[in-house]
Amino acid sequence: MVDYIVTVFTADLLNATTLNNVHIKLVGTDGESKRTWLMGLKGLASFFRGAESCFTVNCSTSLGKLVLIELDKNHLPLFPEDSWFPAKVEVKSPEGDTYTFPIYRWITDCEVHRFREGTALTIIDDTHPLGRYARQEELQQRAKDYCWHVYAEGIPHCIDAEDPLSLPCEVQFSFTKKTEFAYDAATGLMDLELKGLADYKAKWTDMDAIKRAFWYKLSHIPNYVQEHWKEDAFFSYQFLNGINPMMIQRCTTLPENFPVTDDMVFLSGQGSLTDEMKKGNIFLCDYKLLDGLKANTINGKKQYLMAPLVLLHKRPDDTLMPIAIQLKQTPADDNPIFLPTDSEYDWLIAKIFVRSADFNEHQLNVHLLRTHLLAEVFAVSLLRNIPMVHPLYKLLIPHTRYTLQINVLARVTLISPTGIFTQFTASGGEAMTTILKRSLSSLTYRSLCIPEDIADRGLEDVPNFYYRDDGLKLWDIIHRFVKGVLSYYYKKDTEVQDDPELQKWISDIFEHGFLSQAATGIPERFTTVAELVKFVTMVIFTCSAQHAAVNSGQYDFCGWMPNTPSSLQLPPPTKKGKTSKEKMLQTFPDVNVTVKSMATVWLLSKHSSDSVYLGQYPEGHFSEDTPCKLIKAFQGQLKVLSAAIKARNESLEIPYTFMDPAEVENSVSI
Ligand code: FE2
């Protein structure tokens, strides 16, 4: 007889305990154990939350190299069936070897579940027939659990789930996250003390009333925004370091539909646009994607959404300033080019229309599509095509945490016909799908990779551009880590080409995420290790750093409504000199629209107490030395970057914290 010492670790997670009987079977290359009841000295406490419990499994002879374990649980007559969250199982063999079996998922039924030994294996290296069988069986089940769904034609496909409860429990929010999120959502307006205003469908009559509603400050930034929102320098700053750093690009030729002249923007003889463009000092933000859309109707009133063009000038002292704004795409007499030299309210209202357009473009294209919906595609394809034992699963699964559930919630509560976004933003309703479709058809792979995106937009040497500075460093650190891990498992390009699971992962992403549009540049298959490394870097960057950059500051920059109105309810001026402060107040969204938007961006800016930050992998899916060392090195580099960002921020009027690795979550979870 030989003894195997089995240690079972139950996760330290709310409700992770089981009082049911747990059985295990060990399966090795030379045989398998009997199904053994794990009954130990601790009795019922063996599988309590956080417990680490040891058992002995006897076998008549050695089982050889362990390949997998089978776990199941059943309940006693007096105890109901419950849900159990084992973290991992360790088995010490009679030969003295220790095998780790990562689990990190709920077991809710009394079926038999198979878990592979922790060494990562691609299908090529997975030579044992039982291993291969378990792999196939796992993917067949996942293909049933995670089905693609077409939410609307022309946008990325999503998970087929009507509500969060219909998702498999392994991808649902934890009890902690669920409770906090529901509480925050339910009490948002109360916490902001806005309850009395939530149904008040009237216009604002003075700025002080807006200030009184905006009393809640999460950080120093909302205060700053309230004080500086009218200033040109702050207006420009937000194109670089606000929550939408994706619009600005260097301008080398003026667009034909934006006929700005030297006389408009320079005092006579003080400069020319052509010269300044040659020097690389002119920048453009073009919201052409929003052109010709039917704006929403809110509180029974027609709303207005513009598709502006904004020209910016980098001055000799390195400050970036707006020099011209045209609110509609087609030049016309009733579509004036607004200038900083216009009357205070002409210029301010023009900027407000730009900020409102930016809110809508940001939420739908930059935030929802380019981070949330893509992260969901990467996750669904991973779950359907890549088994747990595969190195890609181990590498990417932490970067999919909570993404499916947060997106299901977004579809149910934000963009559904009665959703908050649909009801209270200018682009809600009909325009929303059009914007998402246009955004997807203009999206490129290059624009998802920050080094190429910055180069393509000509922004390499723009001063004080912290999104770029922090983002490029993060990209490099992530790339180094991903390269280390993947080149450990794929030594040659042919190994990438010959991995059918990996190829199915990317081809599903190409088909379901990018709707087989080859013009996006998204690979349809991988031919080299380098291509794979770059794509996986982009996936991790998008789910973590990029989402943080466009998500975390939503309350900071959009909480103060005048800086970022979700909708506007008067048309923009068609002639100069007709505006006033009263006109501006009448243009702002109604009180109820303002406070509902404020509560929503407040909720979407809150981290939950069980957030996991970039590079932290509390679930040890990898067990081999090399990937574990690479994770340590990755964490070390992120720490150094975090310290450098904190030191840099000390001297900034507005600290740029969104891409500080200590503040960036591993996944799209809010
Ligand atoms: Fe988000």
Query: In which residue ranges of the chain is CATH 1.20.245.10 found?
Result: 137-245+358-670
Q: Please check the confidence at residue 93 and state whether its pLDDT lies above 90.
A: yes
Closest CA relative to residue 261, chosen from 275, 249, 272: 272
| Segment 142-196, tens digit of pLDDT | 999 999 999 999 999 999 999 999 999 899 998 888 888 887 887 777 777 777 8
Query: In which residue ranges of the chain is CATH 2.60.60.20 found?
Result: 2-118
> Residue 260's pLDDT band (boundaries 50, 70, 90)?
very high
Q: How far does residue 552's CA lie from ligand 1's centre (Å)?
A: 8
Q: What percentage of the chain exceeds 90 in pLDDT?
A: 89
> CB–CB of 94/2 below 8 Å?
yes
Domain 137-245+358-670 has CATH 1.10.10.10: no
Backbone Cα Rg of the chain: 28
> Residue 587's pLDDT band (boundaries 50, 70, 90)?
very high
Q: How far does residue 217's CA lie from ligand 1's centre (Å)?
A: 20
| Segment 521-578, tens digit of pLDDT | 999 999 999 999 999 999 999 999 999 999 999 999 999 999 999 999 999 999 999 9
Q: Please check the confidence at residue 269 and state whether its pLDDT lies above 90.
A: no
What's the pLDDT score for residue 21?
Answer: 94
Q: How far does residue 25's CA lie from ligand 1's centre (Å)?
A: 42
Distances (CA, A) of 442 to 137, 513, 514, 519: 39, 13, 11, 9
Q: What percentage of the chain exceeds 70 in pLDDT?
A: 100
> Residue 377's pLDDT band (boundaries 50, 70, 90)?
very high
What is the CATH class of 2-118? mainly beta
Q: How far does residue 368's CA lie from ligand 1's centre (Å)?
A: 7
Q: How far does residue 77's CA lie from ligand 1's centre (Å)?
A: 45
Q: Across residues 618-637, what is the average pLDDT?
A: 97
Mean pLDDT estimate for the chain:
95
Q: How far does residue 253's CA lie from ligand 1's centre (Å)?
A: 35
Q: Across residues 9-18, what is the average pLDDT?
A: 94
What's the pLDDT score for residue 195?
Answer: 74
| Segment 195-246, tens digit of pLDDT | 788 889 999 999 999 999 887 776 789 999 999 999 999 999 999 999 999 9
Distance between CA atoms of 431 and 296, rounded to whole angstroms? 8
What's the pLDDT score for residue 399?
Answer: 98
The DSSP string of 300-332 is TEE-B----EEEEEE-TTS-EEEEEEESSSS-B
Q: Please check the confidence at residue 454 and state whether its pLDDT lies above 90.
A: yes
> Residue 132's pLDDT band (boundaries 50, 70, 90)?
very high
Q: How far does residue 640's CA lie from ligand 1's centre (Å)?
A: 26
**Tokens 């502006």, residue?**
308
Task: Name the pairing type of β-strands 297-298 and 337-338.
Answer: unpaired
| Segment 485-503, tens digit of pLDDT | 999 999 999 999 999 999 9
Q: How far does residue 603's CA lie from ligand 1's centre (Å)?
A: 10
Q: How far does residue 247's CA lie from ligand 1's centre (Å)?
A: 18
Q: How far does residue 360's CA lie from ligand 1's centre (Å)?
A: 14
